[in-house]
Amino acid sequence: MRLISADDIAAAQRRLAGRVVRTPLMPCPRLGDAHGLDLWVKAENLQHTGSFKARGAMNALLALVERAGAPAGLTAFSAGNHGMAVAWAGRTFGLPTVVCMPPHAVPAKIAAVRRYGGEVVLTEDLLGTCETLAAERGYHLLPPYDNPDVIAGQATVGRELLADGPPPGLVLVPVGGGGLISGVAAALRAAASGPTGSTEPQAGPATRIVGVEPVTANAIGHALRTGEATPPQRPRSMADGLAAPFAGRHTLAHVRALVDEVVEVREDDIRDAWWELMDATKLLVEPAAAVTLAALRAGLVSAAPGTRTVLVLSGGNVSPAALSTLA
Amino acid sequence: MRLISADDIAAAQRRLAGRVVRTPLMPCPRLGDAHGLDLWVKAENLQHTGSFKARGAMNALLALVERAGAPAGLTAFSAGNHGMAVAWAGRTFGLPTVVCMPPHAVPAKIAAVRRYGGEVVLTEDLLGTCETLAAERGYHLLPPYDNPDVIAGQATVGRELLADGPPPGLVLVPVGGGGLISGVAAALRAAASGPTGSTEPQAGPATRIVGVEPVTANAIGHALRTGEATPPQRPRSMADGLAAPFAGRHTLAHVRALVDEVVEVREDDIRDAWWELMDATKLLVEPAAAVTLAALRAGLVSAAPGTRTVLVLSGGNVSPAALSTLA
């Protein structure tokens, strides 16, 4: 399985320039002091559509247009953030977009997809419905994570955080299907191999890259341990953005080659970390964005005192009902 | 009553450089499209201690030290944000700080004052207890809003938002005791009088400045209408940061001279605006910060389509219990 290259990432960055938000890398001394780290957050909750997914979706669409011209439309399956991102990307080109969502999808996320101009189809058969739309209408099925163009789009998160200061000693990334951590790791390893190095990213010792997923939604961790892409139990977590049904082939290859470790956090720890993260940063984030802090709080990840540490805040799409569980 | 001058504001800006966060002025196209405006938010929720109060408290302390040397300690009365700001400012100089808070103060805000090193005294007699501390221990009583140095500190919010783009056509500011709007209006009017103008701020036609307070916590509005500083009913609002017990003499003079209008919003409108504001900006803000959007939603303020509009987000200190009321 070929990993994405530094050239792929540079191409994504060129495509996305001016189209996505260059999100801030913000210091968080309060959390840093609490954990003895020089702690920063990469605020992808401030990205268009409220999550990093905008990067991957837009890069995949732009790459497709470059190679094959604009499709008749777009389709995607998603419980939320990816669907919003695809609808947003499609609207940029005036393309009709159909997002297949599970019947239990959060109403606020359904409404958000519609706000970006997407048509919503509620169905248990997510993939099958998308494939039918692709076959019958010629729509392009834009996958949520297991795709090199999507991964290269997410990699621009890593490029940006490197451009905003010295290389971090520790980067913590939420893991669902693995697209974000695959991209971020590829960008960090490509940089570690040097500006004149090969275009293939190399695992480098400079930065420790740790993925974090819920114990109850651990497709990547399960796949790393067993080689099975699909976990035995249906994923379910308050961090609903991380409830990926299976580990991707591309993402698993990137994680195996480039990521130091993937750890798993409990629901109670996610809830406590979620509030601490919002209170300390004054950013509205979704629970998925807090799994990294949950791992620090639970002592699952440690680093030398004062280590420059970046938590990637994956998104900020949350409902009032979810917030009410904090009380 | 002398209004603060452009020189006062420039001095505050010099004192505060490097000590307070230069908060971002962030575009919010989603809210702008909804209201036909070119809408921006000044994110004072990202300020040290989570609100603009850090500016006024720090400027007042630094001005005091310049004029009279460091006091033995600081004391203040506050239901929350001002107390946190004074404790934070005092800690910078290693000064002991006692914050007098009402017995019904939100536990999270009490905890926050303590986190910044402040000692908390719960008392019904807020002012009397502070005055006793000042007399017995030589502590300096740092007032929450009715003070020229505090107002000049808050004015740096106005300076910054002017530096970050063309002069806005409309600025909306939450109003409690009136310190923030007094400062912001002074900065905007000073700029309108031109760089070579008098050092006394002048009301200028360029920017419409509107204050917004809750119907149920309307000390300034009541004072503007009746001349009475203290409203007949004890102020009470979900926007607890705006529940000032009385209109200040200094702040009222600034509002009369420099502000175009003060409007009042209902609790239901504050709640709806609060969620819309957080969902659209992905910032964690307190209800007080949402009264400006509530005024737009309720049609209490209008402007020509496309008007460059700034909402000053006053702070982000909110409790999980308050968030649960959104569900």
pLDDT tens for residues B2-44? Answer: 999 999 999 999 999 999 999 999 999 999 999 999 999 999 9
Angle at B266 (CA atoms; ends B264, B268), nearest 5 degrees: 155
Question: Euclidean distance between the first and final Cα of chain A, in Å?
Answer: 46
Q: Quick check: A283 and B284 CB within 8 A?
A: yes
Contact residues, chain A, for B50 at CB < 8 Å: 282
Q: Does A93 touch chain B (CB under 8 A)?
A: no
pLDDT tens digits for B246-295? Answer: 999 999 999 999 999 999 999 999 999 999 999 999 999 999 999 999 99
SS3 call for A38 = strand
- The CATH code of the domain at A6-51+152-324 is 3.40.50.1100
Candidates A134, A124, A136; CA nearest to A75 is: A134
Task: Render the burial of A66-101: b for 16+ CB within 10 Å, e for the rest.
Answer: eeeeebebbbbbbbbbbbbbbbbbbeeeebbbbbbb
Whether residue A320 lies within 8 A of chain B, CB to CB, comes out as yes
Measured CA to CA, the distance from residue B171 to residue B191 in angstroms comes to: 14
Residue A256 CB coordination number (10 Å): 14
Residues of chain B with CATH 3.40.50.1100: 6-50+147-324, 53-141
pLDDT score for A108? 86
Contact criterion met (CB below 8 Å) for B217 and B235 = yes
Residue B159 C-alpha, separation from nearest chain A C-alpha, in angstroms: 22
Task: Check if the interface score ipTM surpasses 0.90.
Answer: yes
Portion 272-301 of B in contact with A at CB < 8 A: 275, 278-279, 281-285
> In whole angstroms, what is the distance from residue B163 CA to residue B202 CA?
19
Question: Residue B69 carries which side chain, given as an amino acid letter?
Answer: G
Which amino acid belongs to residue A134? A
What is the model's pTM? 0.95
Q: Any residues with CB less than 8 A from the CB of B111 and at least 6 apart, and which?
A: none
Is pLDDT of B190 > 70?
Answer: yes
Task: Kindly state whether A111 is in contact with chain B, defined as any CB-CB distance less than 8 angstroms.
Answer: no
User: Is residue B161 within 8 Å of B191, Cβ to Cβ?
Assistant: no
pLDDT higher than 60, residue B197: no
**Domain B53-141, CATH among 3.60.15.10, 3.40.50.1100, 2.170.190.11, 3.40.50.300:** 3.40.50.1100
Mean pLDDT of chain B: 94
Determine, for residues A327 and B326 on separate chains, whether the beta-carbon distance falls below 8 Å. Answer: no
Report which DSSP code applies to A302. -
Helix runs in chain B, H state only: 6-16, 29-35, 53-68, 81-92, 107-115, 126-137, 148-163, 179-192, 219-226, 249-258, 267-281, 291-297, 320-324
Residue range B51-60: mean pLDDT, rounded: 98
Q: Tell me, what DSSP letter sits at residue A167?
A: P
Name beta bridge partners: A43.
A313
B282: nearest CB among A26, A50, A321:
A50
Q: Is A138 exposed, middle or buried (CB count within 10 Å of its CB: 0-12, 13-18, 19+)? A: exposed
User: How big is the A-B interface in CB pairs under 8 Å?
Assistant: 49
Asked whether the beta carbons of A83 and A53 are under 8 A apart, the reply is: no
Instruction: State how far the Cα of A69 lies from the Cα of A63, in Å rounded to an integer.
Output: 9
B29 to chain A, any CB pair closer than 8 A? The answer is: no
SS3 B74: strand
Range(s) within chain A of domains with CATH label 3.40.50.1100: 6-51+152-324, 53-141
> Bigger pLDDT: B80 or B159?
B159
**What is d(CA A261, CA A153) in angstroms, rounded to the nearest whole number?**
22
Q: What is the least distance, in Å, from the CA of A110 to any CA of chain B?
A: 14
Contact A183, A157 (CB under 8 A): yes
When pLDDT is averaged across residues B163-183 and rounded to a whole number, the result is 97
Q: DSSP assignment, residue B90? A: H
What mean pLDDT comes out for the span B120-130?
Answer: 94
Nearest to A12, CA basis, from A44, A57, A47, A50: A57
What is the spatial distance between Cα B39 and Cα B228, in angstroms, rounded to a whole number? 35
Chain B residue closest to A320 (CA)?
B327
Judge contact between A251 and A178, C-beta under 8 A: yes
Residue pair B85/B57 in contact by the 8 Å Cβ criterion: yes
Give the count of alpha carbons within 13 A of B234, CB side only: 0
- For residue B285, the chain A residues in CB contact (below 8 A) are 282
B106: confidence class by pLDDT, cuts 50, 70, 90: confident
pLDDT at position A197 is: 47
Confidence at residue A203, expressed as pLDDT on a 0 to 100 scale: 45
Q: Are A145 and A151 in contact (CB under 8 A)?
A: yes
Cβ count near A16 (within 10 Å):
21
Sequence-ordered list of residues with C-beta below 8 angstroms from that of B302, at least 6 positions apart, any chain: none
Q: Phi-psi region for residue B178, left (φ > 0), alpha (ψ -120 to 50) or beta?
A: left
How far A256 CA lies from chain B's nearest CA (Å)? 33
Other Cβ atoms closer than 10 A to B210: 22
Asked whether the beta carbons of residue B324 and residue A324 sit closer than 8 angstroms, the reply is: yes
As a CATH number, domain B6-50+147-324 is 3.40.50.1100
Q: How far is A14 from chain B (nearest CA, A)?
A: 23
Question: A283 vs B279: CB contact, 8 Å cut-off?
Answer: no
Per-residue pLDDT of chain A (327 residues; tens, 9 = 90+): 899 999 999 999 999 999 999 999 999 999 999 999 999 999 999 999 999 999 999 999 999 999 999 999 999 999 789 999 999 999 999 999 999 999 988 888 899 999 999 999 999 999 999 999 999 999 999 999 999 999 999 999 999 999 999 999 999 999 999 999 999 999 999 988 765 544 444 445 589 999 999 999 999 999 999 999 999 989 999 999 999 999 999 999 999 999 999 999 999 999 999 999 999 999 999 999 999 999 999 999 989 999 999 999 999 999 999 999 999
pLDDT for B108 beyond 90? no
Per DSSP, the residues of B160-228 read HHHHTSSPPSEEEEE-SSSHHHHHHHHHHHHHHT-TTS-SS----SSSEEEEEEETTS-HHHHHHHHS-
Distance CA B151, CA B16 (A): 13
Q: Report whether A174 contacts A270 (CB < 8 A).
A: no
B117 neighbors B83 (Cβ within 8 angstroms): no
pLDDT on residue B79: 77
Residue from B19, B92, B284, B318 to probe the interface with A (highest A Cβ count within 10 Å): B284
Q: Please report which confidence band the pLDDT of residue B192 belongs to, taking 50, 70 and 90 as the band edges.
A: confident
| Residue B130 buriedness (CB in 10 A; 0-12 / 13-18 / 19+) | buried
CA of B278 vs chain A CAs: smallest distance (Å): 7
CB contact under 8 A, B45 and A321: no
For A:42-71, CB contacts with B below 8 A are: 45-46, 50
Closest by alpha carbon to A236, among A214, A263, A217? A217
Chain A residues lying within 8 Å of B45, measured CB to CB: 282
A54 vs B contacts (CB less than 8 Å): none
Q: Is the pLDDT of residue B104 over 90?
A: no
